Structure 1
Amino acid sequence: MQNDRKQLAVWDVFIRLFHWCLLAAVIISFYTTKTNGAPFLFPIEVHAQAGYIIIGLLVFRVLWGVSGSAYARFSTFIYGPKDTAIYAKALLKRRAPHYASHNPLGGWMVVLLLLSLSFQAASGLFLSDDIFFQGPLYGLLGRDVSSGLASLHALNSDVLLILIGMHLVGIIVHALQGEHLVPAMVTGIKRFTSEPIDIKPAHRTKHRLFALGAFLVAVGVCGWLWFYPY
């Protein structure tokens, strides 16, 4: 029953802002390459700027994943092969336990998404369309390497779409099982029908100072790329 559901503050405000800002930047990035880019006058430039923002966001996420709040840390939700296999087997039998943070499969999906996004954004720095855009690092590794990265950049965009699709399927599966992840990423509160097995201590206010430092580093990286003298 609804009254029996347990509530737990899981996602801090920094994780939530990261998530929704990243989603917006990824949507803009795909929109400017998969469509005609209207109403943008130079869609490729907007595409590149979205990539710079993604790099800044990823820098923040890595720093926050190392020393951020409990449920934001990679050490909280990255599990070994054995634990992941046990969870997958339990999930197939509809007996999977609840996790406050990401479950083992969800944790690895986060890692794959971050790695794919990192490669996509970083490889774009070495590319050029020879007309409107030249990445800040174009030519650093030579034209042959840049050409190879361009092919991988296009290929990885399809891989990224597949990963995003899998992520959405996971959200739907959790919703069907009564765990609504989208509202949790808005409010930061997760609701459970049973006690999650990975409860961590409450967030500490000292993390806010570290979050500010991580934010400034991320802004510095993004700003350098955005205003790089081509």
Structure 2
Amino acid sequence: MSSHIKLWDAPLRIFHWTFAAAVTAAIATGWLGGGLMVWHGRLGLLVLGLLIFRLLWGFVGSTYARWSRILGAAFGVKAYLQGSWREAGHNPLGALSVLAMLGLVGFQVVSGLMATDDIAFKGPLYTLVTSDTGSWLSGLHRQAKWLLVGFIGLHLLAIAWYTLVRRKPLVAAMIAGRARREHPVQQDAQGGSAVAAVLVVVLAVGTVWGVQSVAGWMTPPPAAPAPTLDW
């Protein structure tokens, strides 16, 4: 029996690092504001596409990327704290962290789609809500960034603790896709084909395109100009 198992599939690893870079860049551009707000909006759409990909990949990806595995782990906190957790992939605290991170970022994306700063930025769905609703969501979007930044800090501290204290190379596993087998019940990940990955990417790109376009589809055409009389 090999001392290592296949843990994270390639599409999930690509998602993870692209997601981390896109969220970091979105926070930075939103913080700096000004002319960078154009890029803040573009990065928000990229993050939306990544979230759609991750949502769908949780149904068709490999073993440890699936929602059934993650949600199952989230309910195993008691076993983990008692030291009887033996499953590979996300442990219960890691599963809860994944759900919280995706939920926070998802809220920021959805609120950002309908937000405005009244100067340089309007979300692609801003015209579909009332001015009061847009202002309310804009305020929530600005406030929630502090919660997201704080959670990212806790996430990084947890990774450092697992790496330096528990001696579990989480970063290396997310780069190489393999991890040490710590119990005989742990098996290689199965599933997550390239065809499924391509289809999910197409669906994610199509969703982002639809979000960008829906406001234009729902905007009534301009009124025809009044006829002029040629005397």
Q: Smaller-chain TM-score range?
A: 0.7 to 0.9
Q: Which amino acid aligns with 1:179?
A: K
Q: Look up the match of 2:144.
A: 156
Map 1:127-166 → 2, pairs under 5 A:
127-166=115-154
- Please give the per-residue CA displacement for 1:55-82, whole angstroms capped at 9, x wherever unaligned: 0000000000022111110111223776
**Structure 1 length as normaliser, TM-score?**
0.84
Sequence identity (%): 34
Q: Which amino acid aligns with 1:145?
A: T
Q: Look up the match of 2:68.
A: 75
Q: Look up the match of 1:6.
A: 3
- Does the aligned pair in 2 maintain the 1:44–1:132 contact within 8 Å? yes
Q: Look up the match of 1:213.
A: 199
CA-CA distance at 1:34 after TM superposition: 2.3
CA-CA distance at 1:222 after TM superposition: 2.6
* 1:54 equivalent among 47, 51, 56: 47
Question: How many pairs are equivalent?
Answer: 215
Q: Look up the match of 1:35.
A: 32
- Please give the per-residue CA displacement for 1:59-109, whole angstroms capped at 9, x wherever unaligned: 00000002211111011122377621332x33xxxx464542100110011
**Structure 2 length as normaliser, TM-score?**
0.84
Q: Which amino acid aligns with 1:122?
A: V
- Does the aligned pair in 1 maintain the 2:6–2:178 contact within 8 Å? yes
Q: Which amino acid aligns with 2:196?
A: F
SS in 2 for 1:78: helix
Mapped to 2, the partners of 1:203 and 1:184 lie a distance apart of: 16
Mapped to 2, the partners of 1:60 and 1:159 lie a distance apart of: 24
Q: Which amino acid aligns with 2:159?
A: I
Mapped to 2, the partners of 1:19 and 1:80 lie a distance apart of: 19
Is 1:222 paired with 2:208? yes
Q: Look up the match of 1:204.
A: 191
Q: Look up the match of 1:109.
A: 97
Q: Look up the match of 2:170.
A: 181
Q: Which has the larger radius of gyration?
A: 2
Q: Look up the match of 1:65.
A: 58
RMSD of aligned C-alpha atoms? 2.4
Is 1:170 paired with 2:158? yes
- Does the aligned pair in 1 maintain the 2:162–2:169 contact within 8 Å? yes
- Does the aligned pair in 1 maintain the 2:26–2:40 contact within 8 Å? yes
CA-CA distance at 1:144 after TM superposition: 1.1
Q: Look up the match of 1:16.
A: 13
SS in 2 for 1:139: helix
Mapped to 1, the partners of 2:187 and 2:205 lie a distance apart of: 30
- Please give the per-residue CA displacement for 1:159-193, whole angstroms capped at 9, x wherever unaligned: 1112111211221221121111001111101124x
- Does the aligned pair in 1 maintain the 2:127–2:215 contact within 8 Å? no
SS in 1 for 2:125: coil
Q: Kindly tell me: are residues 152 and 114 of structure 1, through their superposed partners in 2, closer, same or farther at Cα, counting changes over 3 Å?
A: same
Mapped to 2, the partners of 1:81 and 1:225 lie a distance apart of: 31
Mapped to 2, the partners of 1:161 and 1:112 lie a distance apart of: 13
